[in-house]
Amino acid sequence: MSYVYSPMNVEAILRTDIQKAIQASFGIDTDQFQIQPTNQEFEGSHTLVCFPLTKVSRKNPEETANTIGEYLVDNSQLVAAYNVVKGFLNIRLRDSVWVEVFTSLFVQANFGQLPKNGQEIMIEYSSPNTNKPLHLGHLRNNFLGWSVAELYKANGYKVHKVQIINDRGIHICKSMAAWKLYGNGETPKSAGIKGDHLVGKYYVVFNSVFTEEVKALEAKGLTKDEAEKQAPIMKVAVDMLRKWEYRDEETLALWKMMNGWVYEGFEATYKKMGVDFDKLYYESNTFLLGKEQVLTGVEKGVFFKKEDGSIWVDLTADGLDQKVLLRSDGTSVYMTQDIGTAILRFHDYPNISGQVYTVGNEQEYHFKVLFLILQKLGYDWAKRCYHLSYGMVDLPTGKMKSREGTVVDADDLIDEMIGEAKKQTLELGKTEGMSEEEANKLFNMIGLGALKFFLLKVDPKKKMLFDPNESIQLQGFTGPFIQYTHARIKAILRKAESMSLQTNAEAFTAVGSLESSERALVQLIANFDVKLKEAAREYSPAILANYVYDVAKSYNQFYQAIPIFSEEDTAKLQFRIALSKTVATVIKRSMCLLGIEVPERM
């Protein structure tokens, strides 16, 4: 069934009516005017910005707004009232319009899923190093990348979720060197330690030994730079990197064994986090293609070779600097691998409209260089690559430092959040009547939901401070508050079902006038598709997180203001139950796109 008024056409009809108002009032036919959402402080849903129209009205902004507002109230089938704040015309639509808008949403089978658009996109996230476990920063990365991928799916894209596992390089060799020198054959099984944690332990050991060796060499008169190169443990690591690149069997065997421990550990953490991937790329498989491209670039004159044999690219004419692509000993750098990975991905998925790299903002320069190098190598698709840059996560105790072993481990933090959720939920008596299995599922849902929501509600570009205690609260701008709102609505719907109350959309036409809290809710949920598009376009789950919080907050205001089941008017009772059901759908769908489950009971 089609409706005269729906979220898709209300603004279009309103624009036509405003155009008529300008024509009738000022004798000018123009569609060049701006409509924006009304500020929450004022009554209305749509606001016409009247300052630019003074040129055609020959009146001040307030007079212009009042003239247009009076015309709309008298002549538009949509407009019920208006108010003017300086040069802004705030327009309130008729309640019958909002009832029909809501009805059009209520009967949609796939509300919150936009039609397939035939486009493909690739989104990379996580991309850890295999020398340490995942930490708090990785949590923001994974939650952000996974959510952006889901947002693009909701916008009709075919999405390829990928990661590049940085499984080779000097940082990997550092853990290997420390284990070889000090490990005494220790394994995850013998130590009773998760594999990625064990390898991370030896990364810390390396840096501890390295620091002491550098101090000792400096005491003998060497400069800091000389001491760092001459440190015995560093020499072992550098030698391992060289042997690895030349496929030394013993070095490769050690590398495969320790990386295997890490992969098992990562897989367990990803499962706990609730993120997944469609394809994994490994630096050890892509760096050779990168090296080939670098050598080809030298032949083409894109890159140049220095006297020591190292290969560089000169980007000074582009406002950047010179960048090494191959060291003098022939070993590759991160940039080498990233060149190879990008080319391989477009070869594997030739139909993708672009690649999105979810990587911290400390790598912004790296990606500027990478995309520019790819363009210089002749790959036009490089212009379709995007760096989803995000700010670092700090704690109340300060910045994390992995080499010093002061990082907040992802596994430990998730467990801590679930434990805190259990403690608070039991104290509030929210598990009454639940089995142990149901209660544990709820603790998991709240703890992980609190963590994800807190990390996603902040604009990705901003640096953030993660406060575990604040994130777990049942009140305020938190995941548990929204989860609790969903559980409250489900309880209302169960009661309605027990009373055999129906929600017949045809009955909504008899609703008549709406309460302000009902009108506010309908306006919010009618904006769902707009927010889905905006969040994907801006690569920002924070837009959706803020939106769903506003929906939950607005529903609670509605719940407090209107006693649903004491309503005697059948049409209004059905409308309010249907409104509650649709709000629950919006909350569940939004939170699902953020990677957060919502409970039926809480």
Which residues make Cβ contacts (< 8 Å) with residue 307, sequence separation at least 6? Answer: none
Q: Which band of pLDDT confidence, cut at 50, 70 and 90, is reported for residue 403? A: very low
Query: For residue 209, is pLDDT > 50?
Result: yes
Strand order in the sheet with 46-49: 34-37, 46-49, 88-93, 79-85
Going by C-alpha positions, the residue among 166, 105, 238 that lies closest to residue 530 is: 105
Query: For residue 248, is pLDDT > 90?
Result: yes
Going by C-alpha positions, the residue among 317, 325, 319 that lies closest to residue 298 is: 325
Q: Which band of pLDDT confidence, cut at 50, 70 and 90, is reported for residue 406? A: low
Query: For residue 404, is pLDDT > 50?
Result: no
CA angle at residue 263 from 258 to 267, to 5 degrees?
155
Going by C-alpha positions, the residue among 241, 234, 323 that lies closest to residue 284 is: 241
Query: In angstroms, rounded to a whole number, what is the distance separating the alpha carbons of residues 556 and 563?
Result: 12
Question: Mean pLDDT, the chain, as a whole number?
Answer: 94
Which DSSP category does 332 fall into? Answer: B
Q: What confidence tens digit (pLDDT) does each residue in 322-359 have?
A: 999 999 988 888 899 999 999 999 999 999 999 999 99
Residues 140-154, mean pLDDT to the nearest whole number: 98
DSSP 237-279: HHHHHHHHHTT-HHHHHHHHHHHHHHHHHHHHHHHHHT---SE
Q: Which band of pLDDT confidence, cut at 50, 70 and 90, is reported for residue 482? A: very high
State the pLDDT at residue 3. Answer: 64
Rounded to two decimals, the pTM is: 0.92
Which domains, from first to last, does the chain contain? 10-93 (3.30.1360.70), 167-275 (no CATH), 410-593 (1.10.730.10)
DSSP H helical ranges for 320-457 = 334-348, 364-376, 410-427, 436-456
Give kind and range of the element (H or E) at residue 327.
none
- Residue 296 tokens, joined: 């080809």
Report the C-alpha dihedral over residues 198, 456, 548, 559, rounded to 10 degrees: 60
CA 500 to chain centre: 40
Going by C-alpha positions, the residue among 597, 204, 225 that lies closest to residue 401 is: 204
Residue pair 136/392 in contact by the 8 Å Cβ criterion: no
